[in-house]
Structure 1
Amino acid sequence: MSQGRGNSAFTKTMLVLGFVFLYAPIISLMVYSFNESKLVTVWAGFSTKWYGELFRDQQMMAAAWVSIRVAFWTACGSVVLGTLASLAMTRMRHFPGKTLFGALITAPLVMPEVIIGLSILLLFVSIGPVIGIGEQRGMLTIWIAHVTFCTAFVTVVISSRLSELDRSLEEAAMDLGANRVKVFFVITLPIIAPALISGWLLAFTLSLDDLVIASFVSGPSSTTLPMKVFSSVRLGLSPKINALATLMIVAVTIAAFIAWWLMRRDERRRQRDVQLALQKG
């Protein structure tokens, strides 16, 4: 009995230490965003002036707006392509080159971002004049590169949900006269909606956070927020960076909570439907 209690206490202690190791720096950063002093490591009193300074920084706000727009459209494009790729891998059991197709889809998961950014840059340099990009790299090139990178992550999320989907629901709908397109939009899409939302949020976060790939494919007029933050940190730490990081943490936390709530609601609804079906049966 005492050995079991000792193991439980040790497990709880390690869990607490792990959470402290992960979140203490984040909490410290958020606390010092309300610091009066210009020094990020010296507390001089509570103040919110650095949030005002942040919103008055036109270059920082412009970079944030670029990143938000790119991340939004990257998430949308990645979900569309990831859904199509997931349907191909889960619904088309056998087709020539399926193994190669799966390997190419998931390659960005294990490939260094430097290699991805450099390869896409060389692609734009070689075929840019043909497709009308040329030397004018900007938001479009960043969007293409981020979709290429994020689609792999979205595909993994959606594929795992599609592989667990009960095919009998789709077959029953087709037996009742629905075509495949209607079955997808009426049956499949609502069921995998939580996975789509999770993939969208994941792609949005990855795009918003990316620095390496965007550095290769961006132009002078398309500086993203991570690029701006990185260049600012190289010149010296500013409490404005703490304020910006705090706002991003709050936004990501709210988005993650919304995604968790939607998935939890969907799971409860699914369990309730299963119970009703069993009671009727």
Structure 2
Amino acid sequence: MIPAPIMLPLAFMVFWSKLGMAGQAVSKVISHAVVFAAIRLAFISLGFRSVDRQLVEVATTLGATGRDVLHTVVLPTVVPHVCSWLVFVFISSLNEYIIAYLVAGFQVETLPIKVFNSLRMGFQPTMCVSAVLFLLVDILAFSLIARIGNLPRLMGGGG
């Protein structure tokens, strides 16, 4: 079961406050890394599952060392999955407000906190610009993933 989106940030807030590290940038970075670890593991496991075992067997049969197999067969297959994982985590982390607010508070002002504070103080046109920039970054990133790699295959589908 996936916990409610507020439960994990609350647990992080309690944990970091007990350690005396609440409101620090390091605690925010570590919290984001823990939250997005599942995405990382999913993408990397998909990458390793997509390695064709017959290619590895052929390479070793033809005399390739383990290092050669890694560099010529495994890495070219896994690298697109790692790159797409980085893009997905970057976009998700860039837009994550709850963890940033509960863990870092207003002491470390990240972009989502800045946007929320600006919205609380009244409408400002810069928020529309930042929303459009978020959208453009998302479209550009996903377009690059779709262009460079086979997006359905990178997401675990057949394609």
**Band the TM-score falls in, shorter-chain normalisation:** 0.7 to 0.9
Alpha-carbon separation, structure 1, partners of 2:101 and 2:21: 15
Alignment deviations for residues 142-167 of structure 1 (CA, whole Å, 9 cap, x no partner): 11111111121122223233223211
**Counterpart code for 2:138:** V
Residue 215 of structure 1: how far off its partner (Å) = 1.1
> Matched residue of 1:192: which SS?
helix
Alignment deviations for residues 236-280 of structure 1 (CA, whole Å, 9 cap, x no partner): 22211001111221122112211111114xx9xxxxxxxxxxxxx
Inter-CA distance 182–137: structure 2 relative to 1 (3 Å threshold): farther
Alpha-carbon separation, structure 2, partners of 1:185 and 1:142: 35
Between Structure 1 and Structure 2, which shows a larger proportion of helix residues?
Answer: 1
Residues 113 and 213 in structure 1, CA contact (< 8 A), matched pair in contact too: no
Matches within 5 A, 1:124-203: 124-126=16-18, 128=19, 134-135=20-21, 137-175=23-61, 176-179=63-66, 182-203=68-89
**What residue is the counterpart of 2:100 in the other structure?**
214
**What residue is the counterpart of 2:3 in the other structure?**
111
Q: Does residue 233 of the first structure (1) align with residue 125 of the second (2)?
A: no
**What residue is the counterpart of 2:156 in the other structure?**
none
Inter-CA distance 158–185: structure 2 relative to 1 (3 Å threshold): same
Relative to the length of structure 2, the TM-score reads 0.81
Alignment deviations for residues 49-91 of structure 1 (CA, whole Å, 9 cap, x no partner): xxxxxxxxxxxxxxxxxxxxxxxxxxxxxxxxxxxxxxxxxxx
Alpha-carbon separation, structure 1, partners of 2:25 and 2:72: 35
Identity of aligned residues (%): 25
Alpha-carbon separation, structure 2, partners of 1:184 and 1:116: 37
Residues 16 and 22 in structure 2, CA contact (< 8 A), matched pair in contact too: no
Q: Does residue 121 of the first structure (1) align with residue 13 of the second (2)?
A: yes
Alpha-carbon separation, structure 1, partners of 2:116 and 2:23: 20
Q: RMSD value over aligned CA atoms?
A: 2.4
Please say which structure displays the higher CA radius of gyration. 1
**Counterpart code for 1:112:** A
Residue 211 of structure 1: how far off its partner (Å) = 0.5
Residue 217 of structure 1: how far off its partner (Å) = 1.3
Aligned structure 1 segments of 4 or more residues deviating by more than 4 angstroms:
none
Residues 117 and 217 in structure 1, CA contact (< 8 A), matched pair in contact too: yes
**What residue is the counterpart of 2:157 in the other structure?**
none
Alignment deviations for residues 24-68 of structure 1 (CA, whole Å, 9 cap, x no partner): xxxxxxxxxxxxxxxxxxxxxxxxxxxxxxxxxxxxxxxxxxxxx
Residue 125 of structure 1: how far off its partner (Å) = 3.0
**Counterpart code for 1:206:** S
**What residue is the counterpart of 1:29 in the other structure?**
none
Inter-CA distance 193–135: structure 2 relative to 1 (3 Å threshold): closer
Residues 87 and 141 in structure 2, CA contact (< 8 A), matched pair in contact too: yes
Unaligned runs of 5+ in 2: 154-159
Residues 121 and 217 in structure 1, CA contact (< 8 A), matched pair in contact too: yes
Higher mean C-alpha displacement, 149-158 vs 202-211: 149-158
Matches within 5 A, 1:239-258: 239-258=125-144
> Matched residue of 2:119: which SS?
helix
